[in-house]
Amino acid sequence: CLNEQRLSSFSRHMELFSPDRSYIFMRQEQRQRALPSVPYLSIFFLDMTFVLEGHAADIILPKTGMINFIKYRRIFELLRELLYYQERPYFFGAMKSIQD
């Protein structure tokens, strides 16, 4: 049996990692975090797969050679969002007990 604090923590994590509404709670949580932070990459891969597989082909009209710029703009936005998390470096202090 879980105590009340652990049960509350478990419920919060269940809500946070719920795929309902395209991981809306996790997306909100990520936006509120200060850098540096590690993004939940599962959402990035889900979004990238949707863009790559769900949008029209790279070349819309083969005869004219028109490119699907909407698709490539969305790919750029996803990559820019991922790079945002690399803007600030992580600083880890030395731990003598581990280094020795």
Write the CB contacts of 55 (distance below 8 Å, at least 6 apart in sequence): 68, 70, 71, 74
Structure tokens at 79: 């990559």
- Which percentage of the chain shows pLDDT scores above 90? 51
The pLDDT score that the predictor gives to residue 35 is 87
Write the CB contacts of 45 (distance below 8 Å, at least 6 apart in sequence): none
Q: What is the pLDDT of residues 1-36, one digit of tens each?
A: 779 999 999 999 999 999 999 899 999 999 898 888
61: confidence class by pLDDT, cuts 50, 70, 90: low
